[in-house]
């Protein structure tokens, strides 16, 4: 993470650029709702595409604004454990809807 | 004693205290919101009703997303300004961030108030009418006796009285004879807060759960709001605090201004009893049946034209067709002249405004956006404190203030990050 004033001064353009990218991709996500991706209305592909853009945007926020692109090791260790538990929790919820015999989701 | 590592980093971790603290906190926040996002997935996958899509107006959500992104840029600039020892620029950037937070909450309040004022009535056959209640009061006349509970009754139910505010006179109940607290009560007295206190005290002495009070003044009439009552029949009405009226229910119909008819869950559209209901002027809603079926037919034709791979049966199962074809807006956008219908309470299965009790969608929507809103308020308060009350710290040790702003900024970015997911999930898909 940039810590001396000179480096920070240089980073300001990057912050502005990332802000613009985030604004543009917000617009793109809204425009996507007007396009059919396979199924009429909102289908799984629409949700997947929307979440992919959201993930991209949140990655930019985390990496650039939260400086995770150059953080200390200890922070990465915290986040690694968090991600493991987070993924485990999401999986448990999804598995609750999974039929163990047919491996299809209950409706 | 001075606390170490508030400004400079520890040599082994390379981090100062608050930096570790905020990241541990954010890790716990990831799990908190993760649990809620998981719940959202679970509820959406298991919904036994058409999951609302595009129910929220996109524009306010879109503006709020832009707003939070702009505030994320300004808060990082506020931190950078402090690092470069540009205090005035820091104050400007921080002020813009706070203004964004205020705008965010104002837009959210606008959205929430719209939902609170919007109602839905589910009829027994599954038809849902959305709109605004014109008159949903339950009229209860000829009330000659009131039963008050020892534990919970108060006199708020008297506010639901129809007509004059003349004193309510009651007879002293025989079952309170012998109780010290009732010894001062005359044989006939006014039902006011002091006397009610004496009655409840005496009832407790006699170990009674409730006391029935017979009126000696003229019978009372009530117009009770839906949310005030706990239950009623033709001769009794119980308020939420347990107070019960004995009298005669004279009218319990709901006069409802309908802005949308939703028949996605209707068992038999052609023969829905909804079309047999009347307007307050006595006009039949039968003509709406023709309008609805015409709308259904034209939407189906258009849908099949646009999606050649679909046949009629397949289209009927399609969620998007159902959303557009089986719902009919009764007014043009922007119009406030809603056609009205009189709904007997016996035809109503469920009636509520769009609050968490309406359905699981609104429950998780209000939970997640409400919790997110609390985070916005919390973040704004902390940053406001730094802006208005931490000037002294800048003079003493600017690096310390920069560290504080960095921590607040990390939290603020996290709040933005959560919204980045909330926006598409609730507003777009």
Provide, as residue numbers in chain A, all residues whose Cβ is less than 8 Å from the Cβ of B421.
Answer: 51, 54, 58
Provide, as residue numbers in chain B, all residues whose Cβ is less than 8 Å from the Cβ of A75.
Answer: 15, 19, 23
Tokens of B403: 């560290």
Please tell me the predicted confidence (pLDDT) of residue A106: 66
Please tell me the predicted confidence (pLDDT) of residue B413: 98
Of A57-71, A85-99, B215-229, B245-259, give the lowest mean pLDDT range.
A85-99
What pLDDT band is residue B121 in, cutting at 50, 70 and 90?
Answer: very high
What pLDDT band is residue B54 in, cutting at 50, 70 and 90?
Answer: confident
What pLDDT band is residue B364 in, cutting at 50, 70 and 90?
Answer: very high
What pLDDT band is residue A38 in, cutting at 50, 70 and 90?
Answer: low
How far apart CA B184 and CA B176 sit, in angstroms, is: 11
Per-residue pLDDT tens over the stretch B178-206: 888 888 889 999 999 999 999 999 999 99
Mean pLDDT for chain B overall: 93
**CB–CB of A39 and B320 under 8 A?**
yes
**CB–CB of B421 and A51 under 8 A?**
yes
Per-residue pLDDT tens over the stretch B278-293: 999 999 999 999 999 9
Residues in chain B, total? 429
Please tell me the predicted confidence (pLDDT) of residue B182: 84
**DSSP single-letter state for residue B243:** -
**CB–CB of B41 and A62 under 8 A?**
no
Tokens of B174: 């025989």
The arithmetic mean of pLDDT across residues B270-279, rounded, is 93
The arithmetic mean of pLDDT across residues B45-70, rounded, is 93
Q: How far is B319 from chain A (nearest CA, A)?
A: 8
Which value does ipTM take for this structure?
Answer: 0.92
Per-residue pLDDT tens over the stretch A9-25: 889 999 999 999 999 99
Q: Is A62 on the interface with B (CB under 8 A)?
A: yes
Q: Which of B5-9, B87-91, B327-331 has the highest mean pLDDT?
A: B87-91
pLDDT of A37 over the 80 cut:
no
What pLDDT band is residue B212 in, cutting at 50, 70 and 90?
Answer: very high
The SS3 assignment for B151 reads coil
What pLDDT band is residue B359 in, cutting at 50, 70 and 90?
Answer: very high
Query: How many residue pairs from chains A and B have C-beta atoms closer than 8 A?
Result: 145
Q: Which domains does chain B have, with CATH numbers?
A: 17-118+358-428 (1.20.120.80), 119-133+255-353 (no CATH), 138-253 (no CATH)
Q: How distant, in Å, are the alpha carbons of B165, B170, B175, B196, B214 from that of B188?
A: 18, 6, 15, 13, 10
Which residues lie below 8 Å from residue A59, measured CB to CB, with a gap of 6+?
none
| Chain A from 1 to 30: CB within 8 A of any B CB | 3, 5, 8-9, 11-12, 15-16, 18-19, 22-23, 26, 29-30
Please tell me the predicted confidence (pLDDT) of residue A91: 87
How far apart CA B190 and CA B194 sit, in angstroms, is: 9
Provide, as residue numbers in chain A, all residues whose Cβ is less than 8 Å from the Cβ of B413.
Answer: 61-62, 65-66
Q: How far is B357 from chain A (nearest CA, A)?
A: 22
The arithmetic mean of pLDDT across residues B346-368, rounded, is 95
Residue B179 dihedral angles phi and psi, to the nearest 5°: -85, 130
| Chain A from 65 to 104: CB within 8 A of any B CB | 65-66, 72-75, 78-79, 81-82, 85-86, 89-90, 92-94, 96-97
The arithmetic mean of pLDDT across residues B306-317, rounded, is 88
Closest by alpha carbon to B39, among B330, B356, B365, B372? B365
Please tell me the predicted confidence (pLDDT) of residue A26: 96
Per-residue pLDDT tens over the stretch B129-182: 999 999 999 999 999 999 999 999 999 999 899 877 889 999 999 988 888 888
**CB–CB of B77 and A12 under 8 A?**
yes
If one compares A88 and A100, the residue with the highest pLDDT of the two is A88
How far apart CA B370 and CA B364 sit, in angstroms, is: 9
The arithmetic mean of pLDDT across residues B17-22, rounded, is 95
Which residues lie below 8 Å from residue B422, measured CB to CB, with a gap of 6+?
B368, B369, B372
Mapping DSSP onto H, E and C, the string for B287-339 reads HHHHHHHHHHHHHHHHHHHHCCCCCHHHHHHCHHHHHHHCEEECCCCCCCCCC
Q: Which residue does chain A place closest to B70, by CA atoms?
A: A19
Provide, as residue numbers in chain A, all residues whose Cβ is less than 8 Å from the Cβ of B13.
Answer: 72, 74
The arithmetic mean of pLDDT across residues B379-385, rounded, is 97
Please tell me the predicted confidence (pLDDT) of residue A44: 81
Provide, as residue numbers in chain A, all residues whose Cβ is less than 8 Å from the Cβ of B41.
Answer: 90, 93-94
pTM, full prediction: 0.88
pLDDT of B102 over the 90 cut:
yes
Provide, as residue numbers in chain A, all residues whose Cβ is less than 8 Å from the Cβ of B51.
Answer: none
Provide, as residue numbers in chain A, all residues whose Cβ is less than 8 Å from the Cβ of B29.
Answer: none
How far apart CA B408 and CA B201 sit, in angstroms, is: 54
Percent of chain B with pLDDT over 90: 80
Q: Which of A15, A47, A90 sits opposite B429 (nearest CB)?
A: A47
Query: What b-and-e string marks burial along B246-265, b requiring 16 or more CB atoms within 10 Å of the CB?
Result: bbbbeebbbbbbbbbbbbbb
Please tell me the predicted confidence (pLDDT) of residue A107: 58
């Amino acid at each position: 993470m940039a810590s001396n004033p000179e480096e920070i001064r240089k980073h300001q353009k990057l912050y502005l650029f990332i802000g613009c990218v985030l604004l543009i991709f917000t617009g793109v996500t809204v425009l996507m709702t007007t396009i059919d991706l396979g199924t009429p209305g909102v289908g799984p592909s629409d949700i997947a595409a929307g979440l992919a853009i959201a993930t991209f945007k949140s990655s930019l926020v985390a990496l650039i604004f939260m400086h995770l692109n150059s953080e200390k090791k200890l922070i990465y260790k915290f986040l690694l454990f968090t991600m493991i538990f987070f993924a485990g929790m999401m999986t448990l919820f999804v598995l609750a809807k999974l039929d163990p015999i047919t491996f299809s989701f209950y409706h | 004693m001075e606390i170490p590592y508030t400004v400079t980093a520890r040599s082994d971790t390379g981090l100062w205290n608050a930096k570790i603290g905020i990241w541990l906190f954010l890790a716990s926040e990831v799990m908190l919101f993760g649990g809620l996002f998981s719940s959202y997935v679970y509820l959406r996958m298991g919904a036994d009703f058409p999951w609302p899509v595009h129910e929220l107006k996109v524009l306010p959500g879109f503006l709020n997303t832009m707003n939070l992104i702009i505030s994320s840029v300004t808060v990082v600039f506020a931190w950078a300004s402090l690092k470069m020892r540009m205090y005035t620029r820091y104050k400007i950037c921080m002020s813009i961030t706070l203004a964004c937070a205020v705008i965010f909450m104002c837009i959210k309040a606008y959205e929430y108030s719209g939902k609170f004022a919007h109602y839905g009535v589910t009829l027994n056959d599954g038809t849902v009418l959305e709109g605004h209640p014109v008159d949903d009061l339950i009229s209860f006349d000829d009330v000659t006796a009131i039963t008050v509970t020892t534990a919970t009754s108060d006199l708020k139910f008297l506010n639901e009285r129809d007509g004059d505010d003349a004193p309510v006179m009651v007879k002293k109940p025989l079952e309170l004879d012998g109780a010290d607290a009732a010894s001062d009560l005359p044989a006939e007295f006014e039902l006011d807060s002091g006397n009610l206190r004496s009655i409840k005290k005496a009832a407790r002495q006699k170990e009674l759960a409730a006391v029935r009070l017979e009126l000696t003044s003229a019978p009372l009439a009530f117009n009770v709001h839906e949310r005030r009552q706990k239950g009623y029949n033709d001769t009794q009405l119980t308020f939420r605090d347990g107070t019960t009226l004995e009298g005669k229910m004279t009218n319990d119909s709901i006069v409802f201004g309908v802005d949308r008819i939703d028949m996605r869950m209707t068992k038999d559209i052609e023969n829905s009893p909804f079309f047999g209901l009347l307007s307050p002027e006595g006009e039949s809603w039968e003509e709406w049946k023709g309008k609805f079926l015409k709308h259904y037919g034209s939407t189906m034709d258009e849908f099949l034209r646009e999606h050649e791979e679909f046949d009629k049966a397949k289209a009927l199962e399609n969620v998007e067709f159902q959303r557009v074809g089986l719902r009919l807006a009764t007014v043009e956008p922007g119009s406030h002249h809603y056609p009205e219908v009189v709904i007997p309470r016996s035809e109503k299965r469920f009636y509520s405004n769009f609050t968490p009790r309406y359905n699981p969608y609104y429950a998780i929507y209000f939970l997640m956006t409400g919790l997110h809103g609390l985070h916005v308020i919390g973040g704004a308060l902390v940053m406001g404190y730094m802006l208005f009350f931490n000037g002294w710290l800048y003079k003493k040790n600017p690096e310390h203030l920069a560290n504080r702003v960095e921590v607040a900024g990390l939290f603020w970015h996290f709040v933005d990050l959560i919204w980045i997911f909330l926006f598409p999930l609730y507003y777009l898909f």
